[in-house]
Structure 1
Amino acid sequence: MSEAGRRARAALPAVALLVLATGAMLALSTLLGFAPLPAAWRIALTLVVAVLLALAAADQVRAALTDWQGASAAESGVHRRPRRNVLPQPNSRTDPDRSGEFTGERTETGIFTGRTRPVPTTDELWGASGEHTRPVSPAPESAEERRPERPKPRRPSWVRLAVTVAAALVLAALLWVPQVPVHGLAVRVTTFLLGYAAYALPVLPLLLAWPLPRLPREPWPWRLALVPVADRRMWNGGELRHLGTATLALLRERVLTRATGVVVAALGLLHLVRGNPDVLDGGAARAGGLAGYLIAEPLRLLLSGGGAIAVLGGVLASAAAITAASAGRAWGTVTGYTTLALSVVAPLGAVGAGHWLGYEYYLRTENGHVVVVAGLSPTHRQAVHDTKLSVEGLSPSLRQLFADGLPVSDYDDGDRIAKALAAPATSAAESYAGEEFDLRTGECFDWIGGSSQLRYVAQCNAAHVGEVTFVGHLPFTVNPGSKAVAAASQAMCEQSYGDYLGVPFGQSFLPLEKPLLPPGLEAAWHAKPVIACWLGSVGPWPLKGTKTVAALQQKAAWGPAGGCKIEVPDALRVTAEQPNARCLAPGPEQRLSVPGGGFAIDLEFAAIGKGAGGARIGAGCYDGANLANGYSFEVNADGVIEIYKHAGDQHPRVAASAKPKNAGPPTTASTPLQVSCKPTADGGVELTAFSTGNRKASFVDKDHPFTSLSPRLVLTNAGTGGVVMTTMIFNATRV
């Protein structure tokens, strides 16, 4: 047989072991849903990698097979007995003259040369008495004598035993005992490096206490690795080749034939079956850690997730089989089988359980739906459960809360919490209990001593500080943390905002106040705490159902543009400090625009200042994202209502009213004004303005109308600076 044939025959056990184990792991991972079935070319590449690993481990696998056969033979108690003395018969080929003598010592080809002893004579066979006697055979051996001697592993030194046991105890104290002062730091560091395998780290030193026999090899040339430091030069070609060959041989032995290979494969598998978590977001610390990431990610990129799982399964099988064979030869087949079971079943069982267990659950959004994500961090997704809840209609804070990841207990808990946050009315409460007061939805209240203490429930048609818009339970049974409680409270208040006011949150300038939480909740958490949502007062009237989107006393910032100033004492004062200025209130800081929204605005205003005669004052509907676009209703010095369309730097007048009858202009008297802007069925915008003195102006814009609008006050100063618009009434509602 040729040299190549002998090598191929010698590699057959290793090829069979790794290829079969790789194929089995590929099928198992696909059936259990650990990873999808790779493409055909990736499957072929996976099997090629398995064959290459088998060729690298061929000698070790063959030696392990020999060890296992020897151990089995020793355990069976049966061994080949020594041959009895057999009388050779004359042979014409070796003894032509049949004299009982022949030449021949057996050579490698089976030919005998030399001389043997003569055939026994008749007297020797029959004895001196003439009676036949059989040749004397040795006494039979007992089973214990026939048992081959088992190689006894060398007992480790007491120093080695002491060091390994001490290392195991130290690691156990650091990682398993929370009372140790540096326990937290040790867990964070080791889990970052090794993931959940860090908790098994105290067991690993014990594996070194009694080392198993191994094939002889040259020690790794560690002195050669220090050449750049010791000799202050770089390696030459020969040194690099020697160092690389020795390193590959070391890795081959450690990964494919030792218990180290079991650990390496388990780390990589743990990373893969737990969804390939990222290192930076902390997810890898709950899988295979940084080590698992570095082991598995290159294989996953090359072979896909299923192929990487299959190859690491082959490595695990190789390392476990060879380690078990060594243990069986040294301590018996029972120990070998036990070692094999522990080396295969324990890692695969832990890894398999890790595919389904040990995750946290978060409420997130995906493809327009609210989902419950099982993951290792808020940004990691292992499994997704759809709550059937659309993100349409959710308030900005609730969307942000889900985008950040709201922790929940499980899928059912996530379903319940998501639906309760999206529909607060389903978790409404009878009343909110403060320290010395109770509040109910729809009640108004006042403070004493500023905002430090609630004094009494007040009438809504009288002076009051705030109005309760919702009282209900937070849907948490377990404390999600103060940050999540605050965010969820704000989200529930925003979701209930539209139910109370009649306008969804985000389509009104009226801001929500900070929700009222139960006193002492941070110090003493209790399930489903009751919160209260409220709006600040904008006048001596209730806000429920009014669809108010803007008011003179709103607490939202008015934010004027450059060249304008806004003051809010008893009345709203807008000052055009420069000539040719257009002042809008609220200004560009308030970017609210309602797509398809229509508004009705009631206001009363007057103008003062030396240049007031050249000013135009009124209200408008503008695109909050770009205040250069929109419509305005302006009263000039003659009291005429003019409607303008603004498109960038173009400001055409599109309609105007008649001059007022028996009514003064805003320069000499206050002027009431009612305007509306609302979309039409055919896609246009209908603009209408009324005032005293039988003034009316209207226009329907169908030429590229602006349909995303919000209400504003308008002061246009065409003359000198210093014109002041004093607004006594400003109230805008949705229509």
Structure 2
Amino acid sequence: MSEAGRRARAALPAVALLVLATGAMLALSTLLGFAPLPPVWQLVLTLLVALLLALAAADQVRAALTDWQGATAAETGVHRRRRRRDPERSGEYTGEFTGEFTGEARRPERAKPSRPSWVRIAVTAAVAAALGVLLWVPQLPLDAPARAAATFLFGYAAYALPVLPLLLAWPLPRLPREPWPWQTLLVPAVDRRLWRREELAGLGLATLPFLRERVLTRATGVVVAALGLLHLVRGHPDVLDGGAARAGGLTGWLIAEPLRLVLSGGGAIALLGGVLATAAAMIAAAAGRAWGTVTGYATLAVAVAVPLGAVGAGHWLGFEYYLRTENGHVVVVAGLSPSHRQAVHDTRLTVDGMSPSLVQLFADGLPVAGYADGDRIAKALATPSTSAADSYAGNEFELRTGECFDWIGGSSQLRYVAPCNAAHVGEVTFVGHLPFTVDPGQKAVAAAARAMCEQSYGDYLGVPFGQSFLPLEAPLLEAGLDKAWQARPVIACWLGSVGPWPLKGTRTVAALQQKAAWGPAGGCKIEVPDALRITAEQPGARCLAPGPEQRLSVPGAGFNIDLEFAAIGKTAGGARIGAGCFDGANLANGYSFEVTADGTIEIYKHAGDQHPRVAASAKPKNAGPPTTASTPLQVLCKPTGDGGMELTAFSTGNRKATYVDKDNPFTSLSPRLVLTNAATGGVVMTTMIFNATRV
């Protein structure tokens, strides 16, 4: 047989062991759902890398096989019987004994492993004890930083670190090789120069067999493979967000990520599984030669089953669960951090129609106990009516949905329920339970309470949250919740009063007493004492209230606006006052209904710097102009069925102006007050009534 043939034959055990183990691990990981089957080219590349590693470890595997055969022969005590050649049959042997074996011949003496030195035993025991104290005893002052550093480097494997030094107490046999030239690393410090090319080459050539031996024939290989597998089966988390600390740590990330990028997740799992099986077989062969085949089999079972069992359990266990959003759906994500996704469960809820706070709460990640708990919480937050409560109990008071209330002694002392058709401070829109049975944290409680109030806003007012200027007040939380958690605490949502009337079902989108910022534009000033005063400080200014700070616009919505403004005086300088429907995102676009100095109602369409008048009413009959008398005005902006916009304004004195805009109408609008100053500055519009509702 040629030299190449002999080398190929010698490498067969290593090829069979590593390549078959890699293939078996690939099939197992695909079957269990650890990772999808890689593409064909990555599959071939994975097997090729396994083949190259097998050729590199051929001598070690061959030596281990010889050790195992020796151990087996030593235990059985039965050798092949010598057969003598039958002279009458050329090339054949008889089965007769030529003699008897003695007891010593039947049981060859087993090689006794050399006992490690007492120094080695003491050092490994001391290191194991120190790690055990630091990582397993939580009462020590150094436990927290030590555990944080260990988990950052090794992830969950940090808890097994105290056991690993014990594996070094009894050295395993190795093939002859030159010691690793660690002195070369000290060249810059000792000789004060950089390494030469031949020194680096020698270091590299010495490192390769050193790594080959450590990874493929020692417990180091089992540890390396386990860290890499733990990182991969737990969804290859990121190091920066802390997820890797609950997988294989920084070490597992460094081991597995390059393999995953090249071989895919499935290929990397398969290759690391093959490395683990090879290293475990090498350790088992050495143990079997030293202490018998039973010990060898037990060592093999432990070296394979324990890491793979722990890694396999890590694919399903030890995750946190978060309510998140994905492709417009609310899902429960199992992960190692809020940004990590291992498995996703669809709750069958979409974010369409959800309030901004609820969408943001889900986008940030809301901790839940599991898939079922996530389903329950998501549905309760999305539909608050399913978690309604009878009443909210405070200190010496009780509130129910639809009741109004007042304060005594300032806003921190809520005392009594007040009639909604009289003066009151607020109106309760919803009383219900937060759906949490376990404390999710103060920030999550506040966000969830706000989200439930926003979700129930439209059920009470008749207009969804975000389509009205009326702001929600801070929810009332159950007393003492910040000190002692109570399952499913009660909250109360409320709106500030805008007048001596109830808001339920009124579809109010704007009111004079609303607490939202009015935010005037430049050249305008707004004051809100008992009435609202808009002052045009500069000539030619066009003042809208609310101003640019309120960017609300409702696509396809119509509004009915009622207002009344006081006389502005004969020195108004030709100013026009009234109301309008404008695009909140761009107040240069929209429609205005303006009353002139002689009382005529004019309708304008505003498109950028173009302001054409599109309709006007007749002059008033038996009604004073706005310069000398207060003026009521009713305005309607309503989309038509054919895509146009119907605009109507009327007032006393038989004044009415109507126009239907079908030429590129604006359909995303919101209600505003309007003051257009013609010639002079300092013109003031005083508004006593301003109320807008959806139609």
Tell me, yes or no, whether TM beats 0.5.
yes
Q: For the Cα contact (< 8 Å) 1:446–1:456, is it kept in 2?
A: yes
Cα offset, 1:50, TM superposition: 0.6
Distance 1:330 1:413 in 2: 54
Query: SS at the partner of 1:642?
Result: strand
Counterparts of 1:13-162 in structure 2, within 5 Å, are 13-79=13-79, 141-142=102-103, 144=104, 146-162=106-122
- Partners of 1:618 and 1:279 lie apart in 2 by 60
Secondary structure, counterpart of 1:600 in structure 2: strand
Deviations 1:645-696, CA, capped at 9 Å, x for gaps = 1111111111111111121222211111100101111111111001111110
The offset of 1:147, in angstroms, is: 2.2
* C-alpha contact 1:153 1:213 (8 A) present in aligned 2: no
Specify the SS of the correspondent of 1:425: helix
Closer/same/farther in 2, CA of residues 68 and 189 from structure 1, 3 Å limit: same
Q: Out of 519, 537, 541, which is 2:479 matched to?
A: 519
For 1:305-454, what aligned pairs fall within 5 Å after superposition?
A: 305-454=265-414
Partners of 2:424 and 2:13 in 1: CA distance? 89
Report if aligned partners of 1:373, 1:383 keep a CA contact under 8 Å in 2. Answer: yes
* 2:5 corresponds to: 5
Distance (Å, rounded) in 2 between the aligned partners of 1:455 and 1:724: 39
| Separation of aligned partners in 2, 1:291 and 1:607 | 78
**Is the Cα–Cα contact under 8 Å of residues 611 and 719 in structure 1 kept in the other structure?**
no
Q: Normalised by the size of structure 2, how large is the TM-score?
A: 0.96
Residue 140 of structure 1 and its aligned partner are, at CA, apart by: 5.3
Letter of the 1:284 counterpart: A
Tell me, yes or no, if the aligned pair for 1:428 and 1:471 is still in contact at 8 Å: yes
Once the two structures are superposed, the pairs formed by residues 156-555 of structure 1 within 5 Å of their partners are 156-555=116-515
Q: Give 1:639-718 correspondences, 5 Å limit.
A: 639-718=599-678
C-alpha spacing 1:610/1:76, structure 2 compared with 1 (3 Å): farther
Distance 1:63 1:359 in 2: 43
How big is the shift at 1:77?
2.6
User: Once the 2 structures are TM-superposed, how far is the Cα of residue 563 of structure 1 from its aligned partner?
Assistant: 1.1
Q: Given residue 550 of structure 1, which amino acid in structure 2 is its aligned partner?
A: A
CA contact (8 A) 2:36 2:265 kept: yes
- Report the CA distance shift for 1:293/1:139 in structure 2 as closer, same or farther (over 3 A): closer
Structure 1 residues 67 and 486: alpha-carbon distance in aligned structure 2, compared to 1, 3 A threshold: same
Shift of 1:410: 1.0
**1:409 Cα deviation from its structure 2 partner:** 0.7
Q: Match for residue 588 of structure 2? A: 628
Residue 132 of structure 1 corresponds to none
1:616 to 576, 596, 603: 576
- The residue aligned with 1:733 is 693
Aligned CA distance change for structure 1 residues 87 and 693 (closer, same or farther; 3 Å): closer
Q: In 2, distance between residues paired with 1:612 and 1:349?
A: 86
Q: SS at the partner of 1:687?
A: strand
Contact residue 573 and residue 678 of structure 2 kept, 8 A: no
C-alpha deviations, 1:197-247, integer Å up to 9, x for none? 111111101111112122221111111122222222222221111011111
How far residue 163 of structure 1 moved from its aligned partner, in angstroms, is 1.8
Q: Is the 8 A contact 1:610 1:723 kept in 2?
A: no
Identify the range of structure 1 (263-272 vs 663-672) with the bigger mean alpha-carbon deviation: 663-672
**SS of residue paired to 1:45:** helix
Q: Is the 8 A contact 1:79 1:148 kept in 2?
A: no
Counterpart of 1:597 in structure 2 is 557
Paired residue type of 1:28:
L
Deviation at 1:475, TM superposition (A): 0.5
Instruction: Measure, in 1, the Cα distance between the counterparts of 2:100 and 2:260.
Output: 64
Root mean square deviation, CA, Å: 1.8
Residue identity matched to 1:57: A
3-state DSSP of counterpart to 1:645: strand
Shift of 1:194: 0.9
CA distance in 2, matches of 1:62, 1:607: 106
User: Which digits, 9 at most, give the CA deviation of each residue in 1:678-723, with x for residues without a partner?
Assistant: 1111111111001111110011111111111101111111212111
In structure 1, distance between residues paired with 2:100 and 2:313:
59
- Does the 8 A contact of 1:623 with 1:709 survive in 2? yes
Q: CA deviation at 1:303?
A: 0.9
Task: Return the alpha-carbon distance in structure 1 between the equivalents of residues 506 and 597 of structure 2.
Answer: 33
Aligned to 1:587: 547
Separation of aligned partners in 1, 2:172 and 2:250: 29
What SS is found at the alignment partner of 1:608? Answer: coil
Give the match's secondary structure for 2:689. strand
User: Contact 2:538–2:682 (CA<8 Å) still a contact in 1?
Assistant: yes
How far 1:536 sits from its partner (Å)?
0.6
Contact 1:560 / 1:585 at 8 angstroms: preserved in 2?
yes
Alignment pair present for 1:557 and 2:502: no
Q: Which moved more, 1:197-206 or 1:179-188?
A: 179-188
| Equivalent position SS for 2:222 | helix
Flag structure 2 segments of 5+ consecutive residues without an equivalent. Answer: 88-97
Counterpart mapping for 1:567-586 below 5 A: 567-586=527-546
Alpha-carbon deviations, 1:335-375, whole Å to 9, x = none? 11111111111111111111111111111111221111111
Instruction: Give the letter for the 2:244 counterpart.
Output: A
Query: Any idea what SS the aligned residue of 1:612 has?
Result: coil
- Contact 1:21/1:314 (<8 A) preserved: yes
Q: Could you tell me which residue of structure 2 aligns to residue 97 of structure 1?
A: none
Code of the residue aligned with 1:33 in structure 2: it is G
2:75 counterpart letter in structure 1: E
5+ unaligned residues in a row in structure 1: which ranges? 90-136
Give the TM-score normalised by the residue count of structure 1. Answer: 0.91
User: Which segments of structure 1 move beyond 4 Å, counting only runs of 4 or more?
Assistant: 86-89, 137-140
Kindly provide the amino acid, as one letter, of the partner of residue 74 in structure 1: A
CA contact (8 A) 2:231 2:248 kept: yes
Counterpart position of 2:94: none
How far the C-alpha of 1:62 sits from its partner, in A, is 0.6
Structure 1 Cα separation of the partners of residues 245 and 67 of structure 2:
39
Shift in Å, 1:611: 4.8
Question: Aligned pair in 2 of structure 1 residues 145, 720: CA closer, same or farther (>3 Å)?
Answer: same
Equivalents in 2 of 1:696, 1:608: separation in Å? 21
In structure 2, C-alpha distance between the alignment counterparts of 1:273 and 1:72, rounded to whole Å: 37
- AA matched with 2:5: G
User: Partner amino acid for 2:272?
Assistant: L
CA offset at residue 157 of structure 1? 2.1
Distance 1:610 1:8, change over 3 A: farther
The alpha-carbon deviation at position 87 of structure 1 amounts to 13
1:2, CA displacement in angstroms?
2.2
Question: In the alignment, residue 40 of structure 1 is paired with which amino acid?
Answer: V
**1: distance between equivalents of 2:322 and 2:131?**
33
Take 1:234 and 1:607, find their aligned partners in 2: how far apart are those partners?
Answer: 91
CA shift for structure 1 position 590: 0.7
2:188 and 2:127 map into 1 onto residues whose CA distance is: 32
Deviation at 1:625, TM superposition (A): 0.7
